[in-house]
Amino acid sequence: MRCKRNGGTFGSKRSDKMKLTEEIVLGFGFTKRWIYKPNAIHPKGWFVYEIEDVMDLNDDFSYSPLNVSHEIKTVDQLKSLYFGLTGKQLSK
């Protein structure tokens, strides 16, 4: 899939990419914001990872602009998406 902004490329067909984890996402400067904390009705709660008012990732690392969900599974996919949205490199 091609990002419309900045000519970036989103996604990768290579299977040898580094799998995305919470530690990696937070290391890139994302913050974890709780939508609601775990409770009796919703034991897992719900949170998003956000960075610089540019983008939010759901708690499963999916990106959902306009209610269309895109899975982000690797670090390269996250970097490509961020570059496509901002024109800047995502780095630690």
User: What are the distances in angstroms from CA 30 to CA 2, 42, 50, 62, 66?
Assistant: 23, 24, 5, 14, 21
Q: What is the model's pLDDT at position 9?
A: 52
pTM here?
Answer: 0.74
**Contact in structure between 35 and 48 (CB atoms under 8 Å):** yes
> What are the backbone angles phi and psi of residue 88, rounded to the nearest 5°?
-120, 150
Q: What is the model's pLDDT at position 16?
A: 45
- DSSP 3-state of 76: helix
- DSSP 3-state of 22: helix
Domain range summary for the chain, segments of one domain joined by +? 22-72
**Contact in structure between 58 and 34 (CB atoms under 8 Å):** no
Local mean pLDDT, 10-residue blocks, the chain (92 residues) = 49 63 95 90 90 90 88 93 93 82
